[in-house]
Amino acid sequence: MKEISLPPYIDIAIVGAGPQALTLATHLLQKRAKLRHRFLVFDPSGTWLSQWRHQFSAQEIPHLRSPAVHHPDPNPFALRAFAENRPDELFPPYDLPGTKLFEDFCAEVIRRWNLQDCVCQAKIDRILPIHHNLRPRYQLMLADGRSIVARRVVLATGSGVLQFPEWVNKIRDLYPPERLCHSQKVDLRTLHIAGETILIIGGGLTSGHLAIGAINRGAKVILMSRRELQEKLFDADPGWLGPKYLKGFAEETDWEARSQLIQQARNGGSMTPAMMLQLRRASRNGKVTLNERCEVIEATWQENSWQVRCVNSEILQCDRIWLATGTRFDATQHPLLIDILDTHPTQIVKKLPVLNEHLRFPGSEFYVLGGLAALQIGPVARNLSGGRIGCDRIVRALTKA
């Protein structure tokens, strides 16, 4: 990672350096190679995919949930070709790429498209729409006091707002922060939890990974979910990746109805069949208790452990609570959208902005990728496949004469 000196002006600013931002960069260059020196990527880490890598390592996730055709390179078969000599790193069914394989492949993509030096290590605090020589532009204010003006901006931070259950805000006791935390703050690699009991809340795949990680470290796990655990290969039906469902979704002109469709398709968290198999086995061996259709009413910290009261009057004791309760996307809460929404107001439906078909705010050159673009892209907006659909739309607008 070499220091990038900031020019005063750039044509395209990409905010965030995750898998979707990388997808955008490769698709842009495929369409127009000479754009290579006209965009910069901004990320606090200064490197591609650092948040993604951290999350996968911290939760010891062995492989991706999406098949090998979904990745940041424009050629859908590139990952398969890359894995030719590593077939045991593609997992059944549908060749799900192993984490290390995917990481190595992305490094190869970055090298091949010569993208090593376009990530600028900078946290952006604010994006101000301004007029520059009478033309609309965007001023990116960096946390270190510097700033840069961009003609066009793509927000690809992928970040949702962490969701916490109601009862968490009602805890009055002082407790050590590591004893109750959101799953995104859990790093299995640093924990010594042998002999502890850990309550994991949530019915999605993250709670499964954390449960297996905790069991492997000698802890006992209570996995609690509000409803019965759902078993699904993918987090949304594969029909959402193509015309089967997307055609009807695109024809739906009522934004509220679209948001209903997204809600129904994602339908909360789910476990893969492979993960359910592991959990059932661990449950038979007494290492995990699956507490389905159950909710916490209150938790109190008592000296060195939690006392947890459930909706069915059951009282549980545990040493730690991990909240695998996900994130939600909320345009009104995103710090980088405050000034944009002021200048380019648009309808907000269930916290999501109504964008045009190129995923930009009306009358602007400000584009959005990821979960915040779900009203246009559908329930897979936050996934690798949604990234590709979104990039196709944005690239068409960015490369228009």
φ/ψ of residue 224, rounded to 5? -115, 130
Task: Check residue 2 and give its pLDDT.
Answer: 57
Task: Check residue 14 and give its pLDDT.
Answer: 98
Identify whether residues 313 and 166 lie together within a single domain.
Answer: yes
Q: Positive or negative CA dihedral for 130, 152, 388, 274?
A: negative
% of the chain beyond a pLDDT of 70: 99
pLDDT tier, 132 (very low <50, low <70, confident <90, very high otherwise) = confident
Identify whether residues 65 and 93 lie together within a single domain.
Answer: yes
C-beta separation of 294 from 286 below 8 A: no
Identify whether residues 167 and 316 lie together within a single domain.
Answer: yes
Task: Check residue 1 and give its pLDDT.
Answer: 57
Identify whether residues 283 and 383 lie together within a single domain.
Answer: no
Is 142 exposed, middle or buried (CB count within 10 Å of its CB: 0-12, 13-18, 19+)?
Answer: middle
Task: Check residue 197 and give its pLDDT.
Answer: 98
Looking at the domain assignment, is residue 141 inside a domain?
A: yes
CA distances from 236 to 95, 268, 271, 381 (A): 17, 10, 12, 10
Number of Cβ within a 10 Å radius of residue 181: 15
Report if pTM > 0.85: yes
Q: Average per-residue pLDDT in the chain?
A: 95
CATH number at residue 191: 3.50.50.60
Look at residues 277, 292, 326 and tell me which one is the last residue of a structural domain: 326
pLDDT digits (tens, 9 = 90+) for 379-401: 999 999 999 999 999 999 999 96
Give yes or no for residue 3 having a pLDDT over 70. no
If one counts the domains in the chain, the total is: 2
CA distances from 172 to 24, 168, 315, 319 (A): 45, 9, 18, 17
Average pLDDT of span 221-226: 97
Report the alpha-carbon angle 390-12-400, nearest 5: 65
Average pLDDT of span 228-238: 92
Average pLDDT of span 338-353: 97
What's the half-sphere exposure (Cβ side, CA atoms, 13 Å) at 194? Answer: 2
* Helices marked H in 69-174: 78-82, 99-112
Looking at the domain assignment, is residue 122 inside a domain?
A: yes
pLDDT digits (tens, 9 = 90+) for 249-282: 999 999 999 999 999 998 888 999 999 999 999 9
Identify whether residues 93 and 118 lie together within a single domain.
Answer: yes
Identify whether residues 33 and 106 lie together within a single domain.
Answer: yes
Q: How many residues does the chain have?
A: 401
pLDDT tier, 133 (very low <50, low <70, confident <90, very high otherwise) = confident
Task: Check residue 63 and give its pLDDT.
Answer: 97
pLDDT digits (tens, 9 = 90+) for 41-93: 999 999 999 999 999 999 999 999 999 999 999 999 999 999 999 999 999 98
37 three-class SS: helix
CA distances from 331 to 266, 393, 401 (A): 19, 20, 30
Is 233 exposed, middle or buried (CB count within 10 Å of its CB: 0-12, 13-18, 19+)?
Answer: middle
Q: Which amino acid is present at 42?
A: F
pLDDT digits (tens, 9 = 90+) for 134-193: 889 999 999 999 999 999 999 999 878 999 999 999 999 899 999 999 999 999 999 999
Identify whether residues 385 and 335 lie together within a single domain.
Answer: yes
CA distances from 83 to 34, 60, 63, 103, 144 (A): 30, 21, 14, 12, 41
Identify whether residues 316 and 334 lie together within a single domain.
Answer: no
Report the alpha-carbon angle 390-119-90, nearest 5: 60
Cis omega (within 30 of 0) on the bond before 93? yes
Looking at the domain assignment, is residue 284 inside a domain?
A: yes
Task: Check residue 159 and give its pLDDT.
Answer: 72
Domain that holds residue 297: 162-230+268-326
Q: How far apart are CA 200 and CA 214, in angstroms?
A: 10
Task: Check residue 178 and give its pLDDT.
Answer: 96
Among the listed residues 223, 254, 238, the one whose alpha carbon sits nearest the alpha carbon of residue 316: 223
**Sole residue written with tokens 């999605």:** 204
Looking at the domain assignment, is residue 243 inside a domain?
A: no
Identify whether residues 340 and 209 lie together within a single domain.
Answer: no
Look at residues 308, 326, 344 and tell me which one is the last residue of a structural domain: 326
Identify whether residues 179 and 72 lie together within a single domain.
Answer: no
Task: Check residue 401 and give its pLDDT.
Answer: 67
**Ordered strands of the 315-318 beta sheet:** 296-302, 305-310, 315-318
C-beta separation of 246 from 240 below 8 A: yes
Identify whether residues 175 and 48 lie together within a single domain.
Answer: no
Q: How far apart are CA 343 and CA 329, in angstroms?
A: 21
pLDDT digits (tens, 9 = 90+) for 290-330: 999 999 999 999 999 999 999 999 999 999 999 999 999 99
Give yes or no for residue 4 having a pLDDT over 80. no
Task: Check residue 113 and give its pLDDT.
Answer: 98
